[in-house]
Structure 1
Amino acid sequence: MTNTTERPALPDHLSIDPRSPHHVAAVFEHDIGIRFNDKERMDVEEYCVSEGWIKVPAGKTVDRKGKPLLIKLKGKVEAFYR
């Protein structure tokens, strides 16, 4: 396991899509966990801690470019390193 001093601080708003302005590649070099309403979620595509929302895929539905359609869920969001 890596030392916590080597890890960058988790941003308030983060996206896994590399084309997003909220994508931080250095954070994804480490294993990240998201807790939503006190339950760990493994399917989070984007989150914002201060606004209290996450975006997750809406089933198997995809848009015309093949990307999953996302729905926004509101609640208590916590991001952490595993």
Structure 2
Amino acid sequence: DDGLRHKIDPGKPEERNIYAAMEAGKQVKKLPMTLGDALEALKKDDVVKSAMPGEMHRLYDEYKRDEWERFLHTSTEWDLETYLNCLP
């Protein structure tokens, strides 16, 4: 919305192989790899936060942090298959 409202030109589309461009020295802003990283990035992003009305940002952050904590404490099928067999 901010880019549309202020008519910010996004520039030309990147058509190169991004991995080759990075090897050649192109600076690339990477997306967060985890929900936890995304929540930390969101905390610093005033544009996105300003697009969320009222208490929405705080509630979203609270619910998603709870979701992330529950995920971190969950045993997956892979965990069970990999580590359960090593118990006597």
TM-score over 0.5 (shorter chain)? no
Please tell me whether Structure 1 or Structure 2 has the larger radius of gyration of its CA atoms.
2
The structure with higher relative contact order (CA 8 Å, sep 6+) is 1
TM value normalised by structure 1: 0.23
TM-score normalised by structure 2 residue count? 0.22
Q: Which has the higher strand share?
A: 1
**Bigger helix share:** 2
